[in-house]
Amino acid sequence: MKQVAALELRSADLQSPRNNKEHHTQEMGLKRLIVRRGQPFALRLHFNRPFRCGTDHLTFVAETGPAPTKLSGTQAAFGLTRARQGNAWSASDFAIDSNSLSVSLFAPASAVIGPYTLKIDISQGQGYSMTHPVGTFILLFNPWSAEDDVYLPSEMLLSEYVLTDYGFVHKGHERFITSWPWNYGQFEEDIVDICFEILNRSLYFLENPIKDYSRRSDVVYVCRVVSAMINSNDDNGVLQGNWGEDYSRGVSPLEWNGSVAILRQWSARGGQPVKYGQCWVFAAVMCTVMRCLGVPTRVVSNFRSAHNVDGNLTIDTYYDRNAEMLSTQKRDKIWNFHVWNECWMIRKDLPPGFNGWQVLDPTPQQTSSGLFCCGPASVKAIREGEVHLPYDTPFVFAEVNADEVIWLFGDGQAQEILVHNTSSIGKKISTKLVGSDQRQDITSSYKYPEGSPEERAVFMKASRKMLGSRRASSPFLDLLGSGVFGDQPALLRLHLARTPEWGQDLLLTLHARRVPHRAHPRGPVSLEVRFCAQALLHKGGTRQPLWRQTVHLKLDFGEEIRWPLTLPYEDYRNKLTDEKLIRVSGVAEVEGTGRFILVLKDISLEPPHLSIEVSERAEVGKPLRVHITLTNTQTVALSHCTMVLEGSGLIHGQVSNDLGTLVAGHSIQIQLDLYPFKAGPRQLQVLISSSEVKEIKGYKDIFVAAARPS
C-alpha cells in the first residue's frame, strides 16, 4: 500500500477583504485581518495534498500577549469540528476542495481583545506533528454580538457610536453653546495599532504584563486603563494637560481639529505625552480609541460642571462688595463646561438595572484606585443617587448635582449668603444627536427635573451616603429648604442689548424692579449697584477686573427701571483668554437695611464666521474643489492667520496654509482641490487661528460616492 505523504501547509488565505467587511472593519483597510469576537470568520488553507478527515488531525492555536497560556485566556487550542459548539474558540463548518480546506473560525464573545498569531499543528497518527504559522489577526469588541458585553441592539446607534468617524464637541457656556467639529478618525490604518500601544504602555501592563493581558476580555477593565492612559499624570499617557495660558512649548488645546494627529505624534515620539490637552481634547481622543476597539462611545458636555474635591456636595464662591469674584485657595470650582465620555456596556459587576451608558472621564481631576482615571460610573446609578456603586459615582454625581452657595466676603471672612442655588450646576448636558449635526440634551438621563420631589429625594439620599457622620454638622444641609435668600426688595437682571461680538463695545441693560418685601412692604428703596467685569477662565476662576461702574437707583413700589451699561472694547481688548468669556457681576446694597443683592451675566463673544462650499459631486479619486471664505467682521485686523484642514477619508493627515493678515472688514477666499479616498459620509474640518482669535472653526458634511467603474 502506497504511503500517503505527510500533510503540509503551503499557504493560507485569511480572506481579509471579505471578513473585514462582514465584521464592520473594512474602513481600517483590507490588507490585514481585523475581526470581532463572537462572530465567525472564514479562512482558506492550501495543502500539498487533499485533506483527509479520518487520518489528518488539525489543531488551531491562537495566542496573544507576551507569555500566552490557556489559564490566563491568552492562548486557545481547538480542533476541527463539524459544527460550532457554544461560546468557545472553534474551527468548524469546513469544506474540502481539492488541496484546499475552507474553515470557519470563531472567537468567543468573552475572548481577550488584541493582536493574535494563528498557527496549526498537523498530526497523523502517533508521534508525527508539525506546526505551521497561518498568519496574524486583530480581535476587537463586538457590539453587533448579543453575547458581547458591549452589545447594542440598534443599527442606527451602532452606525453613530461605532462607525462614524467624525462628530462634535459642545463647548462654551450654557447660554452660548457652540458645536465644535472633531475628526475622530478611528479607522485610519495605523490607529488600531496605536490603541493597543496605549494599552501596552499602561502602568498595569508594565507592572504585570501577563495579568494585564488576561484582563483585556473585560470592557470595564479596558475602559479604566484607557481613561488613565489618555492623560499623562501617572504615566507616559497620550496628552499633557495645560489649563494655564502659555502653550509655547506645544499646541494650544483650542488648535486641535481631531484625534489622529495627536495619536500619531504620541506614537512616533515613543510615547511622549503630546502638549497640550484640556477636557474636550481628552474626551475626544478617548472616543477615538474606544470606538476603534469596538465599544459604542459618545462625547458628552456638562455645562456649569462642579469639581467637588471634598465630597460635601457644595461649591462655595465669593464676591466682595465691589462685585469682584474673588480667587480662593479651595480646589472646589464650577467649570464653565466639562467634557467626558459615555461608553455602552453591560455591568456584570453591579446589581441588575445599571447597564447601558457609563461615564468615563479621562481628564485628570481626581485619583481612582491610585491613578488619575474616572469611571465607568453608571448613568442610571447617578440618576438614582446610588453613589456607593463603582466606579467614582460620587464624583460624577457631584459634577451634575452639587449645590452652589455664593457668599459676600469682607473683612477677611464670609459675611452673608447672597445666593443658594440648588439648580445652577449640571445644565444642558449635551451630546451629538444620532444621525444629525444637531445637539441632543440628555440632562434627564442624569437627574430628575430640577426642583421636583424626586430630584430633591435623590439628592438627600446621595448626601447621606456621601457625608455619613459629617452629615449632622454639614452647613449645606442646614440651608436646604430655607428660602430666606430669595426675600429681597428688588429683582435685578442683566440683559444684552445686542449680539456680543469680539472687537465691539458690549451693550447691556440692567432691569431693576421693586417687589414686596417684609422689611419694606411698599415704600421706595434706594440701591447702590457696583458692577465689575472679569475674564472668565474655563476652570471657573476669573482674572483681575477689567471694568467697573457704579449706578445709584431709587425704586418706587411696582416701578421698573432699565439702565444702559457699556463695556468698551478697549477695556477688554487684551484682557480675555482665548475662549473669550466675560463675567459681568453686580452687587447692590439696599440702603438702610445692610442687605445685598447679587446679579450676574456671563457673556460669550462671537468669533468671525467661516463659509465652506463644495462646488460639485464628490467621488473617490476625483478632484473636489473646496471654497473657503472668512470675513473679518471685527474692527481690528487679524494677524498671523493660519489654516488647518482635516477630514478622514478626504485628506491624508492635515493640510496647512499661512494666510497672513486679514484687515478689518475684508474677506479672504481660499480655493483648493481635495482627492477623496474613501466613500460614504465624510466631514471636512477647517480651523483658522490668529493672534487675536484662536478658534475660528467651520465644517462641511460631504457625501463621497464610490469610484465609477472605468
Q: Which among 282, 262, 259, 281 is positioned nearest to 272, based on CA atoms?
A: 262
The span from the CA of 96 to the CA of 236, in Å, is 50
User: The dihedral of CA 383, 387, 393, 394: what is its sign?
Assistant: positive
Q: Per the residue annotation, which of 148, 165, 361, 392 is the catalytic one?
A: 361
Q: Which helix (H) or strand (E) covers residue 280, if one does?
A: helix 279-293
Q: Per the residue annotation, which of 23, 149, 173, 279 is the catalytic one?
A: 279
Q: What is the DSSP letter of 643?
A: E
- The total of other beta-carbon atoms located within 10 Å of residue 386's CB is 21
Give, to the nearest 10 degrees, the angle between helix 279-293 and helix 260-268. 80
- The order of strands in the sheet holding 490-496 is 490-496, 506-514, 560-567
* Cα 160–chain centre separation: 14
Between the CA of residue 673 and those of 622, 623, 646, what are the distances in Å? Answer: 9, 6, 13
Burial class of residue 450 (count of CB atoms within 10 Å of its CB; 0-12, 13-18, 19+): middle
The span from the CA of 172 to the CA of 337, in Å, is 7
All three cell numbers of 469: 457622620
Q: Per the residue annotation, which of 24, 170, 173, 338 is the catalytic one?
A: 338
Contacts of residue 472, Cβ cutoff 8 Å, sequence gap at least 6: none
Give me the count of residues in the chain: 710
SS3 state of residue 265: helix
**Active-site annotation holds for 338:** yes
Between the CA of residue 275 and those of 237, 253, 295, what are the distances in Å? Answer: 11, 8, 27
The alpha carbon torsion through 264, 270, 275, 278 (nearest 10 deg) reads 70
Q: What is the DSSP string of 577-636?
A: -TT-EEEEEEEEEETTTTEEEEEEEEEEPBPP-EEEEE-S-EETTS-EEEEEEEE--SSS
Catalytic positions are 279, 338, 361
